[in-house]
Amino acid sequence: MINKQALIDRFISYVTIDTESDPKSTTTPSTAKQWDLARLLADQLTAMGMTEVSIDENAYVMATLPATVSHEVPVIGFISHFDTTPDFTGKGVKPQIIKNYDGGDIILNAAQNIVLSPDYFEDLKQYKGQTIITTDGTTLLGADDKAGITEIMEAMQYLLAHPEIPHGKIRVGFTPDEEIGRGAHKFDVQKFGADWAYTMDGSQIGELEYENFNAAGAVVHIEGKIVHPGYAKGKMVNSMYIATDYINSLPRLETPEHTSDREGFFHLHHIDGSVDHTTLEYIIRDHDREHFEARKEMMHALAAELNAQFEKEAVRVEIKDQYFNMREKVAPVMHIVSIAEEAMKALNITPIIKPIRGGTDGSQLSFMGLPCPNIFAGGHNFHGRYEYVPVESMLKAVEVIVKIAELTAKS
């Protein structure tokens, strides 16, 4: 039986450490404060009795749980990231523990009238009677992905305490900078040495994912011409008006707020504009590789049309691929998904197999030679003040890790 209070205490200790990453940084990790949790994890892994514990110059933490069986068993891994998103502050996290949740509104912050309500966040309703950990309304929680780290650590602690449970060699890995798309960039797959792995980085209980978006980032540079407005006729070119034309030429309904499931989108997330120069920053997402390439081509084609209209290069588009759909690499080894599905069913968890509307370290790792489906960590409403995680979901995630280890040893 997993110790509920020990799990809560471990999780709280992790989320109260600020590990926000920084997309503008060129170092790995992108922020020095990520080292605080990385070093703590390495120390704790050593103290609990894990072997081959290492932390490299980029803060990647790895360790081994030795096998308890003598026959040949595939080496499997479990991976989570310790950074939190720069989209919303993770400094000064003050978790609130709601025991025996009554199914109603949760007051996160009375002074600021911040309420977590099941009327708006309907998933809350399924956790009535459970223990829920929330924010105080002023920060994110950090369950993405410190819930995953907690679950892996608790599972390793449990397996060390129960050597009678049969399992092969298990590797664990904790990474920096996943939230800014670099979590796997310097991950040493050969050193990790697993045949396959699972990221514990999904949301609600039961999630099991092996498909994700193909992803790219785009920067659109638009050049204007600044002239004194009193003498501007026929001379001024306002880059912000050209930017408006560009924005409105992309399919308006193919944006995050109008799409779901496998539907792709263009997401304009930042504008910096003046008469002389405007910059638009987009992310491009699509599960289908051909549609993904077509989206990139559309952005270039729109630039060409506007340039033809102005008879000069007023619009320039830079696009950089970020990651691809892991299905391509997981499909040939679908038994690794089947093992996770079997583990959930054995624990009376209904598997929710669906595509990720985003990406994980697993998507990049799969293309680096380490097939890596994604399993639920239990949290909801990531990257904001309404983030929460049911403790019972985390406990179930620990059990899933243990069961996967056991089933792999029997396969």
The CATH number of whichever domain residue 243 belongs to comes to: 3.30.70.360
Examine the domain organization and report whether 273 and 224 are in the same domain.
yes
Examine the domain organization and report whether 347 and 199 are in the same domain.
yes
Average pLDDT, the chain: 96
Q: Residue 87 corresponds to which tokens in the numbers above?
A: 């989209």
Give the model's pLDDT for residue 357.
85
Task: Please provide the DSSP assignment of 308-369 as one string.
Answer: HHHTS--EEEEEEEEE--THHHHGGGTHHHHHHHHHHHHTT---EE--BSS--HHHHHHHTT
Give the model's pLDDT for residue 312.
87
Examine the domain organization and report whether 318 and 330 are in the same domain.
no
Q: How far apart are CA 8 and CA 395, in angstroms?
A: 10
Q: How far apart are CA 1 and CA 210, in angstroms?
A: 29
Examine the domain organization and report whether 22 and 165 are in the same domain.
yes
Number of domains in the chain: 2
Look at the alpha carbons of 1, 163, 12, 400 in this order and tell me if their dihedral is positive or negative. negative
Q: Of 291, 323, 355, which closes a domain?
A: 323
**What separation in angstroms does the CA of 362 have from each of 44, 79, 255, 369?**
24, 8, 25, 10
Examine the domain organization and report whether 307 and 387 are in the same domain.
no
Considering 22, 151, 178, 207, which one is annotated as catalytic? 178
Radius of gyration of the chain (CA): 23
Is 83 catalytic? The answer is: yes
Q: CA angle, corner 191, sides to 21 and 53, nearest 5?
A: 70
pLDDT digits (tens, 9 = 90+) for 147-200: 999 999 999 999 999 999 999 999 999 999 999 988 999 999 999 999 999 999
Task: Return the percent helix, strand and coil in the chain, to nearest 5.
Answer: 35, 25, 40
Considering 18, 83, 151, 361, which one is annotated as catalytic? 83
Examine the domain organization and report whether 191 and 238 are in the same domain.
no
* Residue whose tokens read 């056991």: 406
Q: How far apart are CA 251 and CA 268, in angstroms?
A: 12
Examine the domain organization and report whether 305 and 354 are in the same domain.
no
Examine the domain organization and report whether 153 and 269 are in the same domain.
no
Per-residue pLDDT tens listing for the chain (411 residues): 799 999 999 999 999 999 999 999 999 999 999 999 999 999 999 999 999 999 999 999 999 999 999 999 999 999 999 999 999 999 999 999 999 999 999 999 999 999 999 999 999 999 999 999 999 999 999 999 999 999 999 999 999 999 999 999 999 999 999 999 889 999 999 999 999 999 999 999 999 999 999 999 999 999 999 998 999 999 999 999 999 999 999 999 999 999 998 999 999 999 999 999 999 999 999 999 999 999 999 999 999 999 999 888 999 999 999 889 999 999 999 999 999 999 999 999 999 998 888 777 898 999 999 999 999 999 999 999 999 999 999 999 999 999 999 999 987
Q: Of 323, 358, 392, which closes a domain?
A: 323
Examine the domain organization and report whether 150 and 234 are in the same domain.
no
Using an 8 Å Cβ cutoff, are 240 and 276 in contact? no
Q: Of 305, 323, 341, which closes a domain?
A: 323
Count the Cβ atoms, other than its own, within 10 Å of residue 161: 10
Is 178 catalytic? The answer is: yes
Q: How far apart are CA 387 and CA 301, in angstroms?
A: 39
Q: How far apart are CA 69 and CA 167, in angstroms?
A: 6
* Residue whose tokens read 């620990």: 398
Examine the domain organization and report whether 333 and 319 are in the same domain.
no
**What separation in angstroms does the CA of 212 have from each of 165, 262, 314, 391?**
33, 9, 34, 26
**What separation in angstroms does the CA of 339 have from each of 55, 121, 161, 345, 403?**
29, 31, 23, 10, 9
Examine the domain organization and report whether 232 and 159 are in the same domain.
no
* Residue whose tokens read 């077509």: 294
CA 160 centroid distance within chain:
28
Model's pTM, two decimal places?
0.89
Range of the domain at 332: 4-212+325-410
Q: How far apart are CA 405 and CA 339, in angstroms?
A: 9
CATH of the domain at 367: 3.40.630.10
Examine the domain organization and report whether 129 and 31 are in the same domain.
yes
Strand order in the sheet with 352-353: 51-55, 61-65, 170-175, 76-81, 196-202, 374-376, 207-209, 352-353
Give the model's pLDDT for residue 311.
85
